[in-house]
């Protein structure tokens, strides 16, 4: 049976590979603990569940969603209120916001909406695995932009060759960053806006971890003067409100790009179930306190993991964002070899940095989205079964 050639470019999705690894170990009777995947284990806030239940019981919400390609205006207005309250960003709910089935979906529609066949697209390396497939789907070529520890995992825009910058049409990046946990600074974002403007590049600033920061300010790309002229921000209810399974997010910013995304969506899906959009409104309007609680939980887990890593020889500065810890692999181990050691000795699964791109080699990623008792057990196993490591 014929399948499209474009699919042949796409490597197996990292998390499917990790899930297979976990399932294989479980099938062998191993009590495996996954610190690999970033999927919150705490429940969705009750006001969100209540709003869904109420809206699902209303037959008015059962037909195709209203305003299908942009999302319900009431949801978009809640997004505008949220951006105003949390980031002091002004958005026109009618023209500058489109509801998404998650930020991941937004990456795909951004590619459909902005990129032409044969284009060059800048993608950070290491990078979120959801970016490159969208680029390949539209027959364009991703150009990896290195992010290195020496520059706090921020790309050095001045090191991108001029001819590449001139021919690139778009740039995918995200801070607080998955996988490195790095956060952006206003200075970097100002430079990004100038770089995009000077080179005619459309920025897809993917910001689903905007709320997950420790001791630094929350930042939206859209706070930066000129940002709306050069790009959009994707955001999501998945991570701040433990709503990964609900599939709801938003594309905001440049009205031409947001409109183009809405056109791509109108010809792909028929919108998000109204009841989920009502639940989304409850999250955005009424659940700020839950974000604080979530940060306390992740902060506690972070401290415990950092303490165990230090006991085992790591001496590194933990990043300030996301619920991941991006950690150098010990001397003598590739990222995959260290992950294998963790599985073999501790029955703990973590993600190899190399899976996020060439520049991810030499690192592994721990996720803090696991119940506290399971994290404690994983850390105990690490202390019991791993030696003290050396680092360069
Ligand atoms: C950088 C980044 N972008 C997008 C997503 C997908 O988020 P959503 O659940 O909103 O599709 C993730 C999920 O892990 C992510 O890490």
CATH of the domain at 277: 3.40.640.10
Domain membership of residue 186 as a residue range: 46-286
Whole-model pTM over 0.85 = yes
For position 332, what pLDDT does the model report?
Answer: 96
What's the domain count of the chain?
Answer: 2
Structure confidence at residue 39 as a pLDDT band (50, 70, 90): very high
Which of 252, 286, 320 is a domain's end point? 286
**Confidence at residue 9, expressed as pLDDT on a 0 to 100 scale:** 84
What's the mean pLDDT in 339-367? 95
Cα 271 to ligand 1 centroid, rounded to whole Å: 19
How would you label 360-379 residue by residue, b for 16+ Cβ within 10 Å and e otherwise?
bbebbbbbbbbeeeebebbb
Beta bridge partners of 220: none
Cβ atoms of residues 361 and 335 within 8 Å: yes
Closest listed residue to residue 238, CA positions, set 2, 47, 9, 42:
42
Ligand 1 contact via 174 beta carbon (within 6 Å): yes
**Residues 9 and 36 reside in one and the same domain:** yes
- Cα 157 to Cα 4: distance, rounded to the nearest angstrom: 35
Closest to 17 (Cα-Cα) out of 351, 337, 362: 351
Residue 324 falls inside a structural domain? yes
Q: Which atom of ligand 1 is nearest to the CA of 179?
A: 16
Q: Determine if ligand 1 sits within 6 Å of the CB of residue 352.
A: no
Residue 11 pLDDT greater than 90, yes or no = no
Say if residue 83 is in the same domain as residue 123: yes
Which of 286, 312, 333 delimits the end of a domain?
286
160 shares its domain with 192: yes
The CA distance from 16 to 389, in Å, is 30
Tell me: pLDDT of 13 over 80: no
Rounded to whole angstroms, what are the CA distances from 360 to 128, 141, 164, 209?
A: 11, 20, 22, 20
Q: Are 212 and 240 in contact, with CB atoms under 8 Å apart?
A: yes
Contact in structure between 326 and 181 (CB atoms under 8 Å)? yes
270 and 333 housed in the same domain? no
Ligand 1 in contact with 235 (CB < 6 A)? no
Strand partners, 25: none
Verify cis geometry, omega within 30 degrees of 0, for the bond prior to 176.
yes
Residue at a domain's end among 286, 309, 344: 286
Q: For residue 4, which phi and psi values (nearest 5 degrees)?
A: -70, 145
Cα–Cα dist 316/169, whole Å? 36
């Amino acid at each position: 049976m014929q399948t499209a050639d474009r699919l042949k470019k796409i490597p197996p999705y990292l998390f499917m590979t990790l899930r297979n690894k976990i399932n294989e170990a479980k099938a062998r009777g191993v009590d495996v603990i996954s610190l690999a995947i970033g999927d919150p284990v705490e429940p969705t806030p009750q006001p969100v569940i209540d709003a869904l239940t109420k809206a699902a019981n209303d037959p008015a919400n059962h037909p195709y969603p209203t305003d299908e390609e942009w999302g319900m205006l009431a949801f978009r207005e809640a997004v505008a209120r949220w951006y105003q309250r949390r980031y002091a960003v002004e958005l026109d709910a009618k023209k500058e916001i489109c509801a998404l089935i998650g930020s991941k979906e937004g990456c795909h529609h951004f590619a459909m909406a902005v990129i032409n066949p044969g284009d060059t697209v800048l993608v950070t390396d290491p990078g979120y695995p959801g970016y490159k497939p969208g680029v390949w789907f539209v027959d364009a070529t991703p150009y990896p932009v290195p992010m290195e520890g020496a520059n706090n995992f921020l790309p050095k825009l001045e090191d991108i060759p001029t001819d590449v910058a001139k021919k690139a049409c778009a740039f995918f990046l995200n801070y607080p960053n998955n996988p490195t946990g790095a956060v952006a600074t206003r200075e970097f974002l100002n430079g990004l806006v100038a770089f995009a403007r000077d080179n005619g590049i459309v920025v897809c600033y993917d910001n689903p971890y905007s709320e997950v920061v420790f001791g630094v300010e929350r930042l939206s790309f859209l706070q930066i003067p000129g940002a709306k002229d050069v790009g959009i921000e994707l955001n999501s209810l998945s991570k701040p409100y433990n709503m990964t399974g609900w599939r709801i997010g938003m594309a905001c910013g440049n009205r031409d790009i947001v409109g183009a995304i809405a056109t791509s969506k109108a010809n792909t899906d028929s919108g998000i179930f109204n009841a989920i959009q009502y639940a989304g409104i409850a999250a955005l309007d009424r659940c700020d306190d839950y974000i604080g609680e979530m940060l306390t939980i992740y902060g506690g887990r972070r401290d415990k993991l950092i303490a165990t890593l230090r006991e085992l020889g790591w001496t590194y500065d933990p990043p300030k964002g996301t619920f991941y810890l991006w950690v150098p692999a010990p001397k003598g181990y590739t990222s995959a070899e260290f992950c294998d050691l963790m599985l073999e000795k501790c029955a703990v699964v973590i993600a190899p940095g190399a899976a996020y791109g060439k520049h991810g080699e030499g690192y592994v990623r721990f996720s803090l989205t696991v119940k506290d008792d399971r994290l404690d057990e994983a850390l105990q196993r690490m202390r019991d079964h791993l030696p003290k490591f050396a680092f360069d």
